[in-house]
Amino acid sequence: MSTPQPDSARDPRLLDALKRGVRDVGMDFREKGWKGTVGRTFADLEAFYLSTHAKQRLSEMSTVKRWMVLVWWLLKSLLLKLTPARRVLLALSLVLMASGVRGIQVGPGPDAHVNAGLPILGIVLLLVILMLELKDKLLARDELEAGRKVQLALMPERSPRVPGWDLWLYTQPANDVGGDLADYLQIDARRYGVSLGDVAGKALPAALLMAKLQSTLRALVPQFDGLDDLGAAVNRILCRDGLPDRFATLVYLELTGGSGAVRVLNAGHMAPLVLRGTSIEELPGGAMALGIMAGAAFTEQRVDLAERDCLVVYSDGITEATNAAGDFFGDDRLRSLLQASAGRSAAELGSEVLAAVEAFVGGARRHDDISLVVLRRMH
């Protein structure tokens, strides 16, 4: 039986944690500068706490007035988002810290004066509120991390083996869990299915609907020969079991080992791109997204790929990735990159796209999940 370690061996040391924090903050300041770091912080606060209307009103104010109003609106929004008890405690702590009072008189006589240190009491109350909020955040983070592990366990390997094909899959959530799907399924000895889906919204609600979509597809794919019937069946289930204002777009590809023919079902997703040498073709548009209307009709498409041709399916997290200036990565930039990467393997081409998006976004906050499927005909 192993001997229990002392607390000092098990728990992180505060001084070491502070040193790492100072080092990380210093690196952040060196990379982005003081204005960039502070500006990014306030931009994140504005995005979370303020409405679009409030941000529009701020943009019309002078600099001094804008900062004064911004601080007040952020504080007000913070108070409103807390639970009632914590809201009262925070308001009380702010009053105590601003009072500047060092003591209180509790009765007659010189000995009845108690040095209560009201500003210090306000700081203590503030720390209690921070500890309670941190507790809630850590519990939620633990649950999200567990959900992320489940998501990863459901995902296939990045480069599944399909005879005659070079296949590469990638998905990365903007938050701890995401609503994008990049999946692979071997249907039988010769047929293989590849899917890329994008659920409306982000985080946990989108992740749950994504898991529903993935399990539904895996259960139904072997039962249908026609992709139009497959799309209708998946759509009926999502309409029956889904939530209002929640839908999913999907591109499902079916391959046959040793053949260049690809069957395509597009349910409301952006058109896949076919790269033939340095020329790019866009497949025809698809049907309605899944989960909107139970009676929607779907159409099976087909594309034939010659040796070295590529089929690229992507989520809007790539083309709508934004940098600090608010510019989109865009379709034109993606197409130019694909043309410049012609002849590369599926993994190399996919990695080039991701690296270009990462460089374009820079230090800006990620707002959407990113998913990418690259399918290259080998022989």
Q: Give the tens place of pLDDT for each residue, 190-229.
A: 899 999 999 887 667 777 788 888 889 999 999 998 999 9
Q: Is residue 246 domain-shared with residue 183, that is, in the same domain?
A: yes
Q: Is residue 175 domain-shared with residue 324, that is, in the same domain?
A: yes
**Lowest-pLDDT range of 133-142, 207-216, 262-271, 307-316:** 133-142
Q: Say yes or no to pLDDT of 27 above 80.
A: no
Q: Is residue 132 domain-shared with residue 208, that is, in the same domain?
A: no
| Mean pLDDT, rounded, for 2-22 | 61
- 5 found inside a domain: no
**Contact by Cβ (8 Å): 118, 96:** yes
**Contact by Cβ (8 Å): 263, 304:** no
Burial class (CB in 10 A: 0-12, 13-18, 19+), 34: exposed
Supply the pLDDT for residue 289.
93
Q: Is residue 218 domain-shared with residue 338, that is, in the same domain?
A: yes
* 194 CB-near residues (< 8 Å, 6+ apart): 167, 169, 183, 184, 185, 252, 253, 254, 255, 373, 375
The answer to whether the Cα torsion of 130, 136, 42, 92 is positive or negative is: negative
Q: Is residue 35 domain-shared with residue 137, that is, in the same domain?
A: yes
Q: Among all chains, which residue has been given the structure tokens 């608010």?
A: 326
- Which of 123 and 191 is assigned the larger pLDDT? 191
Q: Is residue 196 domain-shared with residue 330, that is, in the same domain?
A: yes
Q: How far from the centroid of its chain's Cα atoms is residue 308's Cα?
A: 32
Q: Say yes or no to pLDDT of 68 above 60.
A: yes
Helix 346-361 and helix 331-340: axis angle, to 10°?
140
Instruction: Output b/e per residue, 222-260; b: 16+ Cβ within 10 A.
Output: eeeeebeebbbbbbbbbbeebeeebbbbbbbbbbbeeeb
- 64 found inside a domain: yes
Q: Say yes or no to pLDDT of 101 above 70.
A: no
| Strand partners for 311 | 274, 375
**Contact by Cβ (8 Å): 131, 86:** no
- Which of 255 and 14 is assigned the larger pLDDT? 255
- Which of 22 and 329 is assigned the larger pLDDT? 329
**Lowest-pLDDT range of 164-178, 220-234, 303-317:** 164-178
Q: Is residue 211 domain-shared with residue 354, that is, in the same domain?
A: yes
Rounded-to-integer distance, Cα 84 and Cα 94, Å: 16
CATH number of the domain enclosing 242 = 3.60.40.10
For residue 363, give its domain range: 156-377
Burial class (CB in 10 A: 0-12, 13-18, 19+), 148: middle
Supply the pLDDT for residue 154.
63
Supply the pLDDT for residue 6.
46
Instruction: Give the torsion through C-alpha atoms of 61, 62, 67, 73, to 10 deg.
Output: -20
- 186 found inside a domain: yes
| Strand partners for 328 | 322
Q: Is residue 368 domain-shared with residue 267, that is, in the same domain?
A: yes
Q: Is residue 37 domain-shared with residue 165, that is, in the same domain?
A: no
pTM of the model: 0.69
- 171 found inside a domain: yes
Q: Is residue 187 domain-shared with residue 124, that is, in the same domain?
A: no
- 8 found inside a domain: no
- 7 found inside a domain: no
- 367 found inside a domain: yes
Burial class (CB in 10 A: 0-12, 13-18, 19+), 342: middle
- 6 found inside a domain: no
Distances in whole angstroms, Cα of residue 308 to Cα of each of 153, 235, 274, 336 = 31, 34, 11, 18
Q: Is residue 274 domain-shared with residue 290, that is, in the same domain?
A: yes
Q: Token pair for residue 43?
A: 């931009």
Name the 3-class secondary structure at 200. Answer: coil
- For residue 332, the one-letter residue type is D
Burial class (CB in 10 A: 0-12, 13-18, 19+), 297: exposed
How many structural domains are present in the chain? 2
Q: Is residue 171 domain-shared with residue 144, that is, in the same domain?
A: no
